[in-house]
Structure 1
Amino acid sequence: MITHRYRLYIERRDADRNMARFYSLSIEPSLFGEICLVRRWGRIGTHGRSMTHPCETEGAAVLLFLDLLRQKRQRGYATLGSPSMRCAAPERMPGGTQCASAIR
């Protein structure tokens, strides 16, 4: 059972390179009650792709969540509302994902 909700939505935009990407992370239970880290990514405005990683414990899922977040931040992804981002309307987020509060 998951004790906390973990959700994050970040974007990377570069108009000069015609780049508009999203990346979302969430920790969710599977249909069988396993704890899973779910990653979704793609071009903003599309459904994109997704990958599910089953984890033994919530702690293991959180560690993977934070490691992936660190990697994406190094590549230039930022949360909505960050100075480097132009804010997009939340209703445009794929899969109804809600933006997490700024994790820095």
Structure 2
Amino acid sequence: MLVQPYQLYIERTDPARNMARYYALAIEPTLFGTLCLSRRWGRIGSSGQSIEHHFDEEREAVAMFLDLLRTKRARGYKTVPQ
């Protein structure tokens, strides 16, 4: 079971290059007792693409979540103030 919720929404924009991208991550429990890491990405304002990864242990899901976050931050994605 999840100790705490994991959800993240980050964006990367560059008007000079006409770039407006988003990336969303979330770890949620499934009905079968496993965990699902959901990833969504695409151009801001579109439904984009998505993929799901299933894990038996929370630490595996969190490790992938943090690896993806680290990679996206290195590419210039930032959190958006609400």
Q: In which range does the TM-score fall when normalised by the shorter chain?
A: over 0.9
Partner of 1:29: 29
Show the 5 A alignment for 1:7-22.
Answer: 7-22=7-22
Q: After the TM superposition, which parts of structure 1 deviate over 6 Å for at least 4 consecutive aligned residues?
A: none
TM-score (norm. length: structure 1) = 0.74
Q: Which amino acid aligns with 1:10?
A: I
Partner-residue secondary structure (3-state), 2:66: helix
RMSD: 1.2
Matches within 5 A, 1:27-66: 27-66=27-66
Aligned to 1:96: none
1:73 aligns to what SS in structure 2? helix
Q: Aligned partners of 1:32 and 1:42: how far apart in 2?
A: 29
Identity value in percent: 59
For the residues of structure 2 that align with 1:69 and 1:78, how far apart are their CA atoms? 10
Aligned-pair distance for 1:30?
Answer: 2.3
1:84-95 to 2 correspondences below 5 Å: none
Cα distance in 2 for partners of 1:57, 1:38 equals 15
- 1:77 is matched with which residue? 77
Gaps of 5+ in 1: 82-89, 91-104
Shift of 1:3: 2.2
Unaligned regions of 5+ residues in structure 2, if any?
A: none
